Chains A and B, each alone.
Chain A
Amino acid sequence: MASQRRRKGESLFIRYLILGTWALFCLAPVLWFLSIGLRPRTEIITPQPIYWPTFSLDAWHMIWSDWPMAKYLRNSVLAIIGSVVIDLVLAIPAAFSLARYEYRGRDDIGFYILSTRMMAPAIVAIPIFFLFRNMGLLDTVWALMLVYAAINLSIVTWIIRSYMIDIPKELEDAARTDGASDLRILWEIIIPAILPGIITAAVIAAIFAINEFLFTLLIASTPNAYTMSVALANFTGGSDGLIYNAIALVAFLAFVPVFLVVVAIQKHLSRGLTMGAVKG
C-alpha cells in the first residue's frame, strides 16, 4: 500500500516536473518581456550582463503619456467586441438552421460557410480595400469590425453548430409540444443550454481578431484606426530611437488579457477548437 502510494506520488511529481519545464520554456519570452518593460532604458541597451536589475516605471508612464495607447486600446476593444457581437448574431441562427432543419443543399451551404476559412486572406485583400474605400470606411474602426466579423463568422458558426448538434432532440420536441415556436425554442432552450459553447466561440473569435494583422494594416492607415497589433508594429519610438522597454511592456499588456481568458475557459476551449474543426 505505502510503496504504491509513494510510486503514485513519484509519477505525479515527474508529471509536474515535465509540464512545469515546458510551461517555463513557453513563458520565458513573456517573462523576459515583462522584465525588459519594467527596467530603465539605459539598462536594456547596455552590452554588459546585469545581475541585479533596477525596477523602473519609465516605460509605463511613457506609453500612456507620449503615445495614444488608450486610443489604440479602445480601437482594439471596440473592433473586437463589435465583431464578436456581429458574429454571434449571424452565427447562432445560421448554426441552428444547419443543425436542425432538413433542406436541400444544407450540407453544401455548411461546407461553403466553412470554406471561406480555407482561402488565403491575401487573395481578397485588394478587393476589400477598394470596397471599404468606396464605402468611405477606410481607416475606421467600423471597417475593422466588419472584417474581423467576416473572417471569424465561419468558425463561430461551425463551433456553435457542433454544440447544438449535441443537444438532445427530445428537448426541442418537448418545447414544441409545450407550445413553443422555433424562435422561443432557440432563445429559451437552445441558447441557455449551449452557453459554454457560445462563450468558447466568442473567445476564439476574439483571439483571432486580436492577432489579426494583415487586414488591420491595410485598413488602418493612421492612429485613428490603429489597434494594438498594428500599433505595436509601428511603435518604434520615432526620434527617440527604438524604445525597447515600452515596446516590451505594450506587448506584455496585450498578451495578459488573452492569457487570462484562455486560462479561465481552457476546458471548453480545447473542445471548441477540436469540435469546430473536426466534427462534421
Chain B
Amino acid sequence: MARIELSGIQKKWGAIWGVRDVNIDIADEELIVFLGPSGCGKTTTMRMIAGLEDPSEGEIRMDGEVMNDVDARDRDVAMVFQGYALYPNMTIYENIRFPLRMRDVPKVDQDRLVREAAAMVELGDLLDRKPGALSGGQRQRAALARAVVRKPQVFLMDEPLSNLDAKLRQAMRIQIKHLQRQLKITTVYVTHDQIEAMTLADRIVIMEGGLIQQIGTPDEIYSDPANTFVAGFIGAPPMNLIEGRMEDGIFTAPSIRVEGLIRNLSGPVTLGIRPEDCHVAGAEAHVEGTVFGVEPTGDMTYLTINAGDALIEVKADRDYRSDLDVPETVAFDPARIAFFDTTSGQRIR
C-alpha cells in the first residue's frame, strides 16, 4: 500500500524529450489512469515509477521515501506489460511463481500463492501450459496473475488490454477494476483508450507532448476540461470547439450567434459545447446551418451541421431523420457552454 509522488519529473534522451514536466500525487489505494495519444510519455512515466528508467530531473517518492536510486527489483512494484512479457520457456505455473522465487518466498507458501492468484483470474486449469499455447485473453490473465501473486505495493499496467478484441476488453476491464478494489493496491494504468480511462479511473491524468494537461476525476475531465486539448480528446464525438468573437455578452461566428452570455469577456474566444448539450431547435436557435450528415446508431442519431466555417456535432433524438443539405437549426444548453482562449487554448473561467 503506497502513496506515490512524482515531482518535477523530466526524461530526456539526448535531444529527445520523453517527459517534460510531470507532477502527480497518487493517493494510497487509488486507481489512476494516464491517458493520452501515442508518444505523449505515458510509458516513459510508468517506467520511471517502476525503476526501469532513470528520470533526468525530479524526484520519485513512495510513502515519502525517495526512490530515485532504488533498483527496479528492490521497489515493490509489479508491472503488466503491453505485450504481456510472459516467459516463453516456462509454464504458466512457473511464470506466476517466478516473482515469488526471486523474492525468496518460502517454498511451502509458493504453491498456495500461485494457485490463489491463478484462481483469482480464473486460470486454474491452464497452469501446465506454455504461454504460446494460450489465447490473447488467457495470456493477459496470466500476466495479471503474475503481477498480483506477490501482493506488491504498486501495480503498473501499460495498455494491458490493447491487444484484445472489444468484447474481451470490456470483460477484462471489469475484472481489473474488481481485482484492484479487492486487493486495495495503488494502481497506475496507462491507456490511449478514453472509454477504458473513464470507466476504470478514480482520477485521470491527461498527457500530451510530455506534459500533464489535466488531472481530475472522470466527471471533472469530461464536464470541466482545462483546455481545448482535453476538450477535443475526451468524448466520442468530442466537444465542439467553435472559434468566434465575444462582444457585450454576445458570441458570434459565421452562422452562429449566442446571446445572453457573461459580459466580462471580449475579443476572440473559442466556444466549447458537447454534442449532447446541443439539440435540434425551432425558435431560439443559436446555429442556422445545413444538414451535413445523419448517422443513426439505434439509441441515438449523430447529426452533423455545416455552420459556415465549422462542422457541429449534435447528439439528436434517435428518431431524428433528415435529407442532406437542407436548412436546420441547433440550440446550445447555455449552462453547459465553456470558453477557451483561442491562442493559448486554456479554459476561461
Report which A residues bind B (CB closer than 8 A): 168, 170-171, 173-181, 184, 188-189, 192-193, 195
Are B73 and A181 interface neighbours, CB within 8 A?
yes
Interface residues of B in 73-102 (CB under 8 A from A): 73, 75, 77-79, 81-83, 85, 87-90, 98-99, 102
20 intermolecular pairs with C-beta atoms under 8 Å apart: A168-B83, A170-B82, A170-B83, A170-B85, A171-B88, A173-B52, A173-B79, A174-B79, A176-B51, A177-B52, A177-B72, A177-B75, A177-B77, A177-B79, A179-B73, A179-B102, A180-B98, A188-B87, A193-B88, A195-B89
- Whether the Cβ atoms of B85 and A174 lie closer than 8 Å is yes
Which of A168, A170, A195 is the most central at the interface, judged by chain B CB atoms within 10 Å of its CB?
Answer: A170
- Tell yes or no: B103 within 8 A of A by CB: yes
With A178-B146, A179-B73, A181-B73 in contact, is A173–B85 under 8 Å at CB? yes
Q: Tell yes or no: B50 within 8 A of A by CB.
A: yes
Q: In chain B between 52 and 71, which residues have their CB closer than 8 angstroms to a CB of chain A?
A: 52
Give the nearest-CB partner of A172 in chain B: B85
A121 to B102, CA, bound (A): 46
CB < 8 Å A-B pair total: 62
Contact of B87 among A173, A175, A181 (CB under 8 A): A175
Instruction: Report which B residues bind A (CB closer than 8 A).
Output: 47, 50-52, 72-73, 75, 77-79, 81-83, 85, 87-90, 98-99, 102-103, 146, 156
In order of increasing CB-CB distance, the 5 nearest A-B pairs are A179-B102, A174-B85, A192-B89, A178-B99, A170-B85
On whether the beta carbons of B89 and A180 are closer than 8 Å, the reply is no
The listed residue with most B CB atoms (<10 A of its CB), out of A173, A188, A189, is A173
- B-chain residues with CB within 8 Å of residue A193 when the two chains form the complex: 87-89
Q: Which A residues touch B146, using CB under 8 A?
A: 178
Q: Which of A171, A176, A195 touches B73 (beta carbons < 8 Å)?
A: A176
Task: Determine the chain B residues whose CB is within 8 A of the CB of A192 once the complex forms.
Answer: 87, 89-90
- Taken together as a complex, chains A and B put the C-alpha atoms of A188 and B89 apart, in Å, by 9
Q: Is the interface of A mostly helix, strand, loop or mixed?
A: helix
Cβ contacts under 8 Å, B75 to chain A:
177
Task: Write out the residue numbers on chain B whose beta carbons fall within 8 Å of the beta carbon of A170.
Answer: 81-83, 85
Measured CB to CB, the closest approach of chain B to A93, in angstroms, equals 19
Bound together, the chains give a CA A28 to CA B88 distance in angstroms of 43
- A255 smallest CB distance to B (angstroms): 34
Q: Is the CB of B73 within 8 A of A174?
A: no
CA distance A171 to B98 in the complex (A): 12
**Which one, A174, A179, A181, A184, contacts B81 given CB within 8 A?**
A174
Specify which chain A residues have a CB less than 8 angstroms from the CB of B89 in the assembled complex.
192-193, 195
Closest to B81 in A: A170
Min distance, Cβ A142 to any Cβ of chain B, angstroms: 35
- Write the nearest CB–CB distance from A34 to chain B, whole angstroms: 41
Closest Cβ of chain B to A243, distance in Å, is 51
CB distance B102 to A171 under 8 Å? no
The smallest C-beta distance from A104 to any residue of chain B, in angstroms, reads 15
By a CB distance below 8 angstroms, the chain B residues around A176 are 51-52, 72-73
Contacts of B73 in A (CB 8 A): 176-181
User: How many angstroms between the C-alpha atoms of A195 and B82 in the bound complex?
Assistant: 25
Other A-B contacts than A170-B81, A180-B98, 7 sampled, CB-CB below 8 A, are A168-B85, A173-B47, A177-B50, A177-B73, A178-B73, A180-B102, A192-B89
A174 to B81 CA separation, bound complex (whole angstroms): 8
Contact present for B72 and A171 (CB under 8 Å): no
The residue on A at minimum CB distance from B74 is A179
With a cutoff of 8 Å between Cβ atoms, the chain A residues found around residue B83 in the complex are: 168, 170
Nearest Cβ on chain A to B7's Cβ, whole angstroms: 22
B102/A178 in contact, CB under 8 A: yes
Report the Cα distance A3→B47, complex, angstroms: 59
Interfacial chain A residues near B87, Cβ < 8 Å: 171, 174-175, 188-189, 192-193
Which chain A residue has the least Cβ–Cβ distance from B158? A170
Minimum Cβ distance to chain B for residue A129 (Å): 44
Q: Shortest beta-carbon distance, A186 to chain B, in Å?
A: 13
Cα–Cα distance between A201 and B209 once the two chains are bound (Å) = 44
Contact A184 B102, CB 8 Å, known A177-B72, A177-B77: yes
How far apart are A103's CB and chain B's nearest CB, in angstroms?
15
